[in-house]
Amino acid sequence: MEIPAIPLQNPSQVIDRGQKPSEAGIFSAFTSYISSYAAGDPPEPSDEELESTLCTVDCVNACYMGDVFANVVNMPVKSLMPLVSALLAELPDDPTSVVISVKSENDNQSPANGQKSTSGGPNYDPAMVYLLELCTVLALRDEETVEGLGAAVAGALQNVMRNAASYHSILISRTMFYLLHLLHASYEHDFIRVPVVLHTISSFKKDLFDKSAPLVLQGLTQCIKEPGPLRNEIMTSPDFWVILRNLTRNVKSAPTVFEILEGVAVGSPPTIMADNYESAVKLLNDFASAGSVGSTIEQKQDRKAKRGQQPPKQTKPQPQYVYYTFSRDIADILQG
């Protein structure tokens, strides 16, 4: 699957020995020790601990884990079943049992010298994302693995989505991406229902919509890129058009939404029918309305430029211009 690497969690505490004074007396060292003890901060690692850490890294590298996983991926389905069951058993049934906290995504720096940082938002565990991704990859290997492993993996993914409010947006967006890929591969089976998946996405809150937009659109594109029953069922779902209209308000995802809409309207074969005609026209009208706002602003700037006046510099990109680039094609799509 074409997806970025799983984000890891920054260490909660980083000890930077470069910030320590090079010449410290016994009284200063004792004061530092006492203050760290009172604050509950861990002491600096000893040389022996550092050496043990380096030895552990060397040991892991000597195991050639890449070759191990390459062999795991090619295991027979009967051997993969107990492995996937064991991996899924490591997932928490109760979201509140995940106690690892996560800092905000904009905070890429860790506190130095044992300083504590404040954490907010839902919990995030990279290991949980890794388990879900590994099981999904194993299930998607071929038709045999989809049939043998798909139901168990789909159940785990849907269980996470049922508790979306309790998990971090990174976990939710990636889980939905895995679920959409599994839906595409397992449509002939009945362990994933299209209406349930689409309604789950359409029920996202705005903040989660914005953060998960790229992966949701990528997963939906995977499901509708080929003509067939899956594409037809998705296209006639009211929740699908609700998702597109919500994502249209995001400047970064709007171009992809328009590409999907253009492919639906004028693609081969077109998928506009009585069940979704009104929804498609409403979405096109959203783009046309936003584009008209952008065109009005641009015309005013052109008139000022012709009179020799320099248009004011804009410190921030105007979202209207993004939509304005689509309005030239909308009339053709509507006529088609």
Non-local CB neighbours of 182 within 8 Å, separated by 6+ positions: 136, 139, 140, 146, 150, 153, 154, 157, 192
Query: Please, what is the average pLDDT of the chain?
Result: 79
Question: Per-residue pLDDT for 100 more than 50?
Answer: no
Question: Per-residue pLDDT for 73 more than 80?
Answer: yes
* pLDDT given for residue 103 in this prediction: 43
Q: What is the percent of the chain with per-residue pLDDT over 70, rounded to a whole number?
A: 67
- Please give the model's pTM, rounded to 2 decimal places: 0.73
With beta carbons less than 8 A apart as the criterion, state whether 284 and 331 touch.
Answer: no
Token pair recorded at residue 73: 């991926």
* pLDDT given for residue 95 in this prediction: 62
* pLDDT given for residue 263 in this prediction: 81
* pLDDT given for residue 145 in this prediction: 96
Question: Per-residue pLDDT for 107 more than 50?
Answer: no
Q: Where does the pLDDT of residue 133 fall: very low under 50, low under 70, confident under 90, or very high at 90 and above?
A: very high
With beta carbons less than 8 A apart as the criterion, state whether 320 and 293 touch.
Answer: yes
Question: Per-residue pLDDT for 142 more than 60?
Answer: yes
* pLDDT given for residue 187 in this prediction: 94
Question: Per-residue pLDDT for 205 more than 50?
Answer: yes
With beta carbons less than 8 A apart as the criterion, state whether 173 and 129 touch.
Answer: no
Question: Per-residue pLDDT for 160 more than 80?
Answer: yes
H, E, C per residue of the chain:
CCCCCCCCCCCCCECCHHHCCCCCCHHHHHHHHHHHHHHCCCCCCCHHHHHHHHHHHHHHHHCCHHHHHHHHHCCCHHHHHHHHHHHHHCCCCCHHHCCCCCCCCCCCCCCECCCCCCCCCCECCHHHHHHHHHHHHHHCCCHHHHHHHHHHHHHHHHHHHHCHHHECHHHHHHHHHHHHHHHHHCCCCCCCCHHHHHHHHHCCCHHHHHHHHHHHHHHHHHHHCCCCHHHHHHHCCHHHHHHHHHHHCCCCCHHHHHHHHHHHHHCCCCCCCCCCHHHHHHHHHHHHHHHHHHHHHHHHHHHHHHCCCCCCCCCCCCHHHHHHCCHHHHHHHHHC
Question: Per-residue pLDDT for 182 more than 80?
Answer: yes
pLDDT average, residue stretch 226-251 = 89
* pLDDT given for residue 108 in this prediction: 45
Residue 87: CA atoms inside 13 Å, Cβ hemisphere, count?
23
112 phi/psi in degrees, rounded to 5? -100, 150
pLDDT average, residue stretch 236-248 = 90
Residue closest to 182 by CA, chosen among 206, 207, 161, 213: 161
Token pair recorded at residue 172: 């939710």
Residue closest to 322 by CA, chosen among 245, 257, 260: 257
The rounded distance, in Å, linking the Cα atoms of 40 and 114 is: 9
pLDDT average, residue stretch 230-258 = 89
Task: Please write the tens of the pLDDT for every residue from 289-333.
Answer: 876 666 666 667 667 676 665 555 555 545 444 444 555 555 555
Would you say the C-alpha torsion 243, 264, 141, 77 has a positive or negative sign?
A: positive
